[in-house]
């Protein structure tokens, strides 16, 4: 069976990057996305039994002077869900060159890994991804690499993989470690308000949602007799504010597009003088509030991010598959708009 063109680096890869400038944001984004693609292709090599010279994955990292340090295997289905790459010494290396890149793939739609990936997608929706054995394997690998003394480590992932990378990055922030992170099409569990065309309706719904969520959060906290500092929830928000991951989203991808409105709305609420309401709402979900109300432990929504460098792809996407694909992020013909938000 002929391999799909998307797996073949010579056909689909960023061949225009003959020299990498590690200070160039476009180059950094392209390399990070290619490393994620390397994980996808390695898993498909495994599924299709492509070995040796037939394997298609190695060019996705060899081209950028990286080597395979280790791969991360899911204990439930033995699939490859992540890869740790190590930079090889070369003349183009600079202090900005990452020593290691830890990349996580998203959901694969074919093969035995699909059912496990779908289960983890549901874990994300339920806000319990941190409890999965896959994440425990991932965060331990990150901790071990950091503890070994390696410097300039990147985290990157796509879709479900970006959720894994984001969660890993947040965990490291708790230890005072801020890893450069490139998160492609990160999922955001919310009603698709961003898809509403009428700006006034969209803005009104966001304001109403913020006040309702914040009000419910305060009511439940008071009912449970928690301290005032927990009502405001300032701990997790303030602790994360110094970490500024790079998020890459496409308006045509309803899985991640809500991040566009999420950050814009926060800025508008600040200008309206009700930023404290939005900060409180940002740290809670209706599901989490319900868990608090019935006396069960809840966790911050995974999408809670006080700060981010948000890049939006404004180029036309033919369908959801194209809008959600990782390939768009190394193409040099895309119309991108970036803005940094700080909590």
Residue 320 lies in a domain: no
- 130 & 265 share domain: no
What CA–CA distance (Å, rounded) separates 28 from 22? 6
Mean pLDDT of 329-340: 96
Beta bridge partners of 102: 84, 155
Mean pLDDT of 45-52: 94
Which residue in this structure is represented by tokens 């490291």? 172
User: Mean pLDDT for the chain?
Assistant: 84
Residue 21 lies in a domain: yes
Domain edge (last residue) among 184, 207, 227: 184
Query: pLDDT band at 71, cuts 50/70/90?
Result: very high
Mean pLDDT of 167-179: 95
Query: Alpha helix locations (H) across 70-181?
Result: 113-125, 133-147, 160-173
- 21 & 87 share domain: yes
- 65 & 158 share domain: yes
Residue 314 lies in a domain: no
Mean pLDDT of 23-47: 97
Domain edge (last residue) among 135, 157, 184: 184
Domain edge (last residue) among 139, 159, 184: 184
How many angstroms separate the Cα of 151 from the Cα of each of 85, 198, 304? 13, 47, 26
Assigned token pair, 209: 């949602």
Q: Which domain holds residue 286?
A: 193-241+260-293
Query: What proportion of the chain, given as a percentage, has pLDDT over 70?
Result: 74
Burial of residue 306 (CB within 10 Å: 0-12, 13-18, 19+) is: buried
Domain total for the chain? 2
pLDDT at 296: 53
Which residue in this structure is represented by tokens 């796509």? 158
Which of 235, 107, 114, 242 lies closest to 163, judged by CA? 107
pLDDT at 228: 40
Element (H, E) at 155: strand 153-158
- 70 & 214 share domain: no
CA within 13 Å, CB half, 90:
15
Residue 316 lies in a domain: no
What CA–CA distance (Å, rounded) separates 95 from 149? 16
- 166 & 34 share domain: yes
- 159 & 32 share domain: yes
Which of 24-38, 106-120, 164-178, 322-336 has the lowest average pLDDT?
Answer: 106-120
Residue 16 lies in a domain: yes
- 163 & 226 share domain: no
Element (H, E) at 72: strand 66-73
Radius of gyration (Cα) for the chain, nearest Å? 20
Residue 168 lies in a domain: yes
What CA–CA distance (Å, rounded) separates 124 from 261? 20
Given a cut of 90, whether residue 283 has pLDDT beyond it is no
- 172 & 202 share domain: no
- 161 & 32 share domain: yes
pLDDT at 281: 58
pLDDT at 233: 42
Which of 46, 152, 149 lies closest to 105, judged by CA? 46
Given a cut of 80, whether residue 319 has pLDDT beyond it is yes
- 53 & 160 share domain: yes
pLDDT at 37: 98
Mean pLDDT of 58-64: 97
Residue 142 lies in a domain: yes
pLDDT at 231: 36
Which of 333, 280, 275 lies closest to 304, judged by CA? 280
Residue 319 lies in a domain: no
- 30 & 134 share domain: yes
Which of 60, 54, 58 lies closest to 15, judged by CA? 60
User: What pLDDT, in 10s, does the model give residues 176-185?
Assistant: 999 999 999 9
Assigned token pair, 237: 């928000």
Query: pLDDT band at 232, cuts 50/70/90?
Result: very low
- 121 & 14 share domain: yes
pLDDT at 152: 93
User: What pLDDT, in 10s, does the model give residues 93-135?
Assistant: 788 899 999 999 999 988 889 999 999 999 988 888 999 999 9
């Amino acid at each position: 069976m002929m391999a799909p063109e998307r797996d073949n680096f010579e056909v689909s890869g960023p061949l225009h990057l003959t020299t990498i400038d590690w200070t160039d944001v476009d180059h950094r984004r392209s390399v990070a996305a290619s490393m994620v693609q390397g994980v996808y292709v390695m898993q498909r090599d495994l599924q299709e039994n492509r070995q040796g010279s037939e394997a298609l994955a190695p060019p996705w990292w060899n081209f950028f002077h990286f080597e395979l340090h280790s791969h991360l295997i899911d204990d439930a289905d033995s699939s490859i869900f992540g890869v740790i790459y190590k930079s090889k010494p070369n003349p183009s290396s600079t202090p900005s060159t990452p020593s290691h890149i830890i990349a996580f793939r998203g959901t694969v739609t074919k093969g035995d890994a699909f059912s496990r990936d779908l289960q983890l997608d549901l874990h994300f929706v339920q806000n319990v991804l941190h409890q999965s054995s896959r994440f425990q394997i991932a965060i331990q690998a990150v901790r071990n690499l950091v503890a070994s003394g390696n410097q300039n480590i990147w985290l990157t992932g796509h879709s479900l993989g970006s959720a894994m990378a984001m969660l890993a990055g947040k965990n490291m922030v708790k230890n005072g470690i801020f890893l450069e992170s490139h998160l492609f099409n990160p999922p955001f569990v919310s009603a698709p308000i961003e898809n509403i065309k009428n700006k006034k309706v969209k803005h009104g719904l966001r304001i109403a949602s913020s006040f309702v969520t914040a009000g419910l959060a305060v009511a439940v906290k008071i009912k449970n007799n928690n301290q005032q500092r927990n009502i405001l929830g300032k701990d997790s928000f303030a602790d994360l504010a110094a970490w500024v991951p790079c998020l890459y989203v496409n308006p045509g991808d309803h899985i991640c597009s809500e991040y566009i409105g999420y950050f814009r709305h926060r800025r508008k609420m600040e200008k309206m003088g009700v930023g404290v309401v939005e900060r409180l709402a940002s740290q809670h979900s209706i599901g989490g509030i319900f868990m608090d109300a019935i006396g069960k432990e809840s966790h911050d929504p995974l999408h809670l991010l006080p700060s981010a460098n948000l890049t939006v792809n404004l180029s036309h996407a033919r369908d959801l598959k194209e809008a959600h694909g990782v390939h768009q992020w190394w193409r040099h013909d895309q119309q991108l708009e970036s803005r940094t938000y700080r909590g």
